[in-house]
Chains A and B, each alone.
Chain A
């Protein structure tokens, strides 16, 4: 009654493999930079400097990271239930509608700390409802959630264009965006937090939704590993037959999980809309929903891993913008390629180096494995 292939020790599983994947991604990206005639080392320095070299850079990096924490958590929660939610993009988009409606309605009446909870509710509710239909179709009709959530991304995009060029657009405006929110619809910046460390932040839109993202990550950890609902989600995700045996309703859990997942995606909208632009613009999600998939994969669906992976991707976004600015041969599109490579190696090809590493560990197993403690299930 044994199973094939030695498992890797936890530290290798959670630390070494993502690291190896990342290094390979950067090596290939370096090759691409070399091909267009720039110095990859210099590019790397520019990237890190751009992302972490100044208070302003850090502010931006964390601002992007905030988006990715939310969308990464969205994907991870569904993962634990064995569901692949590709619909984060659309759910976040709809979340924007929830935020905007709340802020437009009460932004001029209430202070920010009263608007914020309402906006959170609006964002989460809109995202959750957008996930509900695919969830119901999966649970009741067996329509594959990957397909339906992708389709719902397109529907969301069309719906929002319709709303932003129509009802939501102020009459006098030419741009497909809502009116600017009143002061209550604008979140305070967190620049002072960085200033406490002696960093200067000029205009980076780093705001309190970052704290909400960290809190959400903690709450997701509690949900998955410390609540009865989380236990049921994990049981269903790991073994549907065991869930049936235990009397756990698949329909109910699938629907609840997807709604939580959608709510997390929806909350991503708070950051750009309420925290930065103070209005909803066309296409404000701009791929964060998809980056969330890579973030969740790289972070092993563990909230701590997701926060770290989100910061990495925040660095790629912010540092990448700096490279494009300073290196004439490297355009914005090149940055997209580099980010794509990281997604490819860290996300899609996540397991590429696993067999090789396992063999390597097998060979040096003797001493290494003996030193490591017995691995116990998920990390808690």
Chain B
């Protein structure tokens, strides 16, 4: 069995009542890209965390290149030639690329020697794999795609032969993702072994050689990628047929619910990132805002939701003005029927150390039905949370479990349940399916369309062009803080792509 770079034999892991990995047997061939897919909470990250030494398996054994190894912590994993690219990058923001790569492997008390060595190695890696980054750039100045490249370089610099990537494309633009895949293929050609976790089946088809499907802690299938269709993989994952396209009728737009006029917003550094943006959303329609991440979408939504003060402009909610340049407050807007599913669920939409039921009232905690005078009505809060857990099939179904211990897709459902179940008249949803499995995507998309059909105004912001195109009734494309153009849902990917790249509609037509 010298062909296997990694063998996992009988790996078993429980967290209290949750059986996260059940008797996993998996061999990963050397010099291949091996995909792992599975529903949210299937145990993918847990398995990889065991391989990288974050967690210890309760039972089972790990072999690297045929030799049994004990991976007691990440250092042991690195020593065994295993590197990991984390989804949430672990880089020092105000260090340069070079300093980050050296961190922990400086070599000598004086840095000069180490620096020279890192530079030489970086140049070599750049030539071999096309991993170019400016070694002297500060991390905080780099876009996410490049930060991820630094993570890969860090792993390679430490001699990784086997690279684990857990949902690496969640934060990347399509172009950045393509570049990542080119790099992965190069790495494979050079004999490296890659394990890739992703929810995007298209990526699995595009880049992997083999794919394993996990369901409820078990590996239910391992197949050659070329032998499986996307539909088959989806069915294996979820255990039923999944509708990969969205089914929806025609929109019946009513009166204007949300009107934005000449809105201008600055970011934290004081740069104008939203400039004179105007649009409106009517009852019973979904307006999608497409665009490459970082073109002002986040700030636009924060301003509308009252979290960020706008410089100038007007916003009207249900015919009444919102004081976006002054005292607008998310709590007040919620009362007026504006619900907001934020793009950053980890820092904004949820308080991760809270128990689930506490997050189920975040933002609505001053609602009298959760209170008895100044006191929280814990029983009412938990009962309400448990009800939403049942409605949205949130797993594990435990309102008292710490939110950080839910998997990504289930965390997203917690936020959605909270915002949608308030029956708002305007719903803003940002990146609703980031890190969410296909089954849950189907569910979330259906909920959003149900909201529309119930006569709500929905503003959808997403960097996933597919998502925008399949859900929206009208599409606005944002580029460099402005609305670069508007098109219907029938617009081609190419047409929207041009707008996203900043080519104005008129110019494009000429």
Q: Which residues of A contact B (CB under 8 A)?
A: 1-6, 222, 226-232, 234-235, 238-239, 241-242, 244-248, 359, 362-363, 365-366, 369-370, 372-378
| A244 lies within 8 A of B371 (CB) | no
B351 touches A1 (CB 8 A): no
Show 10 A/B contacts (Cβ-Cβ < 8 Å), sorted by A: A1-B87, A228-B365, A229-B374, A244-B348, A245-B342, A245-B348, A245-B363, A359-B73, A363-B56, A374-B401
Nearest A-chain residue to B59, judged by Cβ: A366
Q: Is the CB of B167 within 8 A of A1?
A: yes
Per the CB 8 Å criterion, the residue count for chain B at the interface is 60
Whether A376 lies near B355 (C-beta < 8 A) is yes
Apart from A245-B330, A245-B349, 12 more pairs, CB < 8 Å:
A1-B87, A1-B166, A226-B375, A226-B378, A228-B376, A235-B362, A238-B352, A238-B353, A239-B347, A247-B332, A369-B15, A372-B16
Chain B positions within 8 Å of A234 at CB level: 351, 354
- Partner of B330 from A222, A229, A232, A247 at Cβ < 8 Å: A247
Complex Cα gap A174–B17 (Å): 70
Q: Collect the chain A residues with CB atoms within 8 Å of residue B291's CB.
A: none
**Is B347's CB under 8 angstroms from A2's CB?**
no
- The 8 A CB mask of B333-371 against A (1 = contact, 0 = none) is 110000010101001111111110010001101100001
* 10 smallest beta-carbon distances between A and B, as pairs: A247-B331, A374-B16, A1-B408, A247-B330, A2-B45, A377-B355, A246-B363, A362-B56, A366-B58, A376-B400
Tell me, yes or no, whether B435 is within 8 Å of chain A by CB.
Answer: yes
Point out the residues of chain B lying under 8 angstroms from A238, CB to CB: 351-354
Q: Give chain B residues whose Cβ lies under 8 Å from the Cβ of A247.
A: 306, 329-334, 363
Chain B residues, CB < 8 A from A239: 347-348, 351-352
User: Could you tell me if B351 and A369 are in contact, using CB atoms closer than 8 angstroms?
Assistant: no
Within 8 A of A (CB), among B38-55: 45-46, 49, 54-55
Is A377 in contact with B353, judged by CB distance below 8 angstroms? Answer: yes
Contact B46 A2 (CB under 8 A): yes
Q: Is the CB of A241 within 8 A of B435?
A: no
Closest to B84 in A: A4
Q: Is B212 an interface residue (CB 8 A)?
A: no
Q: How far is the CB of B368 from chain A (nearest CB, A)?
A: 11
Task: Give the residues in chain A near B366, CB-CB below 8 Å.
Answer: 228
Q: How long is the Cα–Cα vector from A235 to B353 in the complex, in angstroms?
A: 10
Query: Does residue B209 face the partner (Cβ distance < 8 Å to A)?
Result: no
Binary per-residue interface labels of chain B (375-400) against chain A in the complex, 1 for a CB within 8 Å, 0 otherwise: 11010000000000000000000101
A248, B45: Cα distance in complex, Å: 34
Contacting pair B56 A377 (CB below 8 A): no
- Partner pick for B54 among A4, A228, A241, A374, CB 8 A cutoff: A4
Residues of B within 8 A of A226 (CB): 375-376, 378
Residue of A nearest to B52 (CB): A4
B362 touches A377 (CB 8 A): no
Interface residue B411 (Cβ < 8 Å from any Cβ of A) = yes
Distance A222 CA – B371 CA, assembled complex (angstroms): 14
> A6 to B73, alpha carbons, bound, how many Å?
11
A242 interface neighbour in B306, B347, B402, Cβ under 8 Å: B347
Q: How far is the CB of B400 from chain A (nearest CB, A)?
A: 4
Report if B454 contacts A (CB, 8 A): no
- Compute how far the CA of A244 lies from the CA of B354 in the bound complex, rounded to whole angstroms: 16
Contacts A242-B348, A369-B16 given: A232-B365 contact, CB under 8 Å? yes
Which residues 50-106 of B sit at the A interface, judged by CB distance below 8 A?
54-56, 58-59, 72-74, 87
- Kindly provide the distance from the CB of B393 to the nearest chain A CB, expressed in whole angstroms: 18
In the complex, the answer to whether A1 meets B350 with C-beta atoms within 8 Å is no
Q: Quick check: B54 and A376 within 8 Å, CB to CB?
A: no
> Does chain A have a CB within 8 A of B226?
no
Alpha-carbon distance A2/B404, docked complex (angstroms)? 8
CA distance A246 to B14 in the complex (A): 34
Closest residue of chain A to B347, judged by CB? A241
Q: Report the Cα distance A312→B387, complex, angstroms.
A: 44
- By a CB distance below 8 angstroms, the chain B residues around A375 are 16, 402, 405
> What is the distance, in angstroms, from A155's C-beta to the closest C-beta of chain B?
34
Structural contact, B347 and A365, CB atoms closer than 8 A: no
Which residues from chain A contact B371 at a C-beta distance below 8 Å?
A: 228
Tell whether B407 is near chain A: CB-to-CB under 8 Å.
Answer: yes
A234-B306 Cα distance, complex, nearest whole Å: 22
Shortest beta-carbon distance, B419 to chain A, in Å? 11
* Closest A residue to B402 using CB positions: A377
Residues of B within 8 A of A222 (CB): 375
Measured between alpha carbons, how far is A373 from B17 in the docked complex, in Å?
7
Task: Please report the C-alpha to C-alpha distance between residue A248 and residue B348 in the assembled complex, in whole angstroms.
Answer: 12
Neighbouring A residues of B365 by C-beta, 8 Å: 228, 231-232, 246
Docked-complex contact A374 and B355, CB < 8 angstroms: no
Instruction: Choose among A245, A363, A366 the residue that contacts B72 (Cβ–Cβ < 8 A).
Output: A363
Query: Which of B54, B334, B435 has the most chain A CB atoms closer than 10 A to its own CB?
Result: B54
The reply on B244 being an interface residue by CB < 8 A is no
Report how far A172 CA is from B351 CA in the complex, Å.
Answer: 60
Interchain CA distance A309-B49 in the complex, whole Å: 36
- Cα A238 to Cα B49 in complex, Å, equals 25
Contact of B362 with A246 in the complex, beta carbons under 8 Å: yes
Q: Which residue of B lies closest to A249 (CB)?
A: B329
Contacts of B404 in A (CB 8 A): 3
**CB closest chain-B residue, reference A3:** B404
- Report if B228 contacts A (CB, 8 A): no
Say whether B330 contacts A244, CB under 8 Å: yes
Give A5's nearest chain B residue, CB to CB: B54
Contact A228 B408 (CB under 8 A): no
